[in-house]
């Protein structure tokens, strides 16, 4: 979309109030922080961030955050419930005339995959069912990153975590399809590697009323085991191998916003990461490497 393209062509000209301040206490190379910064730039400062306990909680040291917006901290399981309270309060203020409609705010849940796929899923399901008008930004680093990188429902098959020393034995939970089954107006996957795709998806979501999921890959140097300087390259490989599809579902209809013209082998994405090193040394695990490649191939054979 033209507006989104113009926005990102002029990032250097953004006023200070639309940017995260430097000096974040998060890990160098954090893909979740990169995605949050981009989303914040597109949505602007008229936002209430409802933060589920997790890595991003380290951004806030009461009463300060680096965000030029409001911030509400909740437990891991109650972020969507917190969003309900904020959204209801805003609607009541507007309806009673105590808040001008033009001063309405976006209500955005900010949560990791542990909260999104596990602890907070019940409250989120209820909020979607009630058609609450809110955004939900999940930064998916595929484990419980803030407490030592333990296994989560987002951990991919074969990955090492603090609690799976021989590799995860279950496939990753498909939260995109779980949300889509609730029939929300909009669901999308994102990557900080493609800021234009990210901006266009938010622009489309702005036109819709109701629950909207933004599911962003969050490359994690400390948990995944790679040099922070390689963060964008790892994110790029996730897209080019087909491991992380860029897609959206508007009113339940799925559309892929990017499809590689030639898919790279999945092991190109796995090999640079310490959490998958056991698949290559001391000897190659051909059976599991083949299964991982077959899973990606099967997904794209059926993709619309």
CB 48 within 8 A of CB 106: yes
- What pLDDT, in 10s, does the model give residues 143-190? 999 899 999 999 999 999 999 999 999 999 999 999 999 999 999 999
DSSP 263: P
Cα separation, 28 vs 221, in Å, equals 8
- Give me the domain span that covers residue 59: 2-302
Q: Any idea what the Cα angle at residue 73 is, between residues 70 and 78, rounded to 5°? A: 125
pLDDT tens column, 90-126 = 999 999 999 999 999 999 999 999 999 999 999 999 9
Counted domains in the chain: 1
Mean pLDDT calculated for residue range 34-45: 94
Tens digits of per-residue pLDDT, 208-247?
Answer: 999 999 999 999 999 999 999 999 999 999 999 999 999 9
What is the C-alpha separation between 2 and 189, in angstroms, rounded?
A: 20
pTM score:
0.91
pLDDT at 8: 38
Q: Name 255's bridge partners.
A: 248
Rounded-to-integer distance, Cα 156 and Cα 270, Å: 11
DSSP, residue by residue, 108-137:
EEEEEHIIIIIITHHHHHHHHHTT---EEE
User: Which domain CATH number covers 50?
Assistant: 3.40.50.970
Comparing C-alpha atoms, which of 143, 147, 234, 238 is closest to residue 189?
Answer: 238
- The residue among 106 and 60 whose pLDDT is bigger is 106
């Amino acid at each position: 979309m033209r507006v989104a393209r113009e926005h990102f062509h002029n990032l250097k000209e953004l006023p200070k109030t639309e940017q995260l301040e430097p000096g974040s206490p998060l890990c160098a190379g954090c893909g979740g922080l990169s995605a949050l910064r981009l989303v914040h730039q597109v949505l602007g400062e008229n936002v209430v961030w409802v933060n589920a306990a997790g890595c991003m909680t380290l951004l806030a040291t009461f009463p300060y955050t680096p965000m030029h917006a409001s911030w509400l901290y909740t437990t891991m399981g109650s972020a969507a419930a917190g969003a309900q309270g904020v959204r209801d309060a805003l609607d009541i203020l507007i309806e009673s005339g105590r808040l001008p409609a033009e001063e309405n705010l976006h209500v955005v849940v900010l949560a990791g995959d542990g909260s999104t796929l596990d602890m907070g899923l019940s409250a989120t399901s209820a909020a979607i069912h009630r058609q609450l008008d809110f955004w939900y930004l999940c930064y998916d680093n595929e484990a419980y990153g803030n407490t030592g990188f333990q296994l989560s429902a987002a951990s991919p098959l074969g990955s090492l975590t603090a609690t799976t020393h021989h590799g995860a034995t279950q496939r990753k939970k498909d939260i995109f399809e779980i949300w889509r089954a609730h029939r929300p107006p909009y669901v999308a996957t994102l990557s900080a590697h493609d800021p234009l795709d990210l901006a266009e998806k938010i622009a489309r979501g702005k036109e819709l009323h109701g629950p909207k999921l933004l599911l962003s890959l969050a490359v994690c140097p400390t948990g995944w085991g790679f040099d922070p300087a390689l963060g964008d390259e790892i994110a790029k490989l996730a897209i080019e191998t087909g491991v992380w599809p860029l897609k959206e579902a508007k009113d339940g209809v799925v559309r892929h916003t990017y499809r590689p013209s030639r898919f790279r082998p999945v092991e190109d994405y796995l090999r640079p990461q310490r959490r998958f090193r056991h698949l290559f040394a001391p000897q190659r695990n051909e059976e599991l490497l083949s299964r991982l490649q077959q899973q990606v191939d099967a997904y794209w054979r059926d993709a619309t």
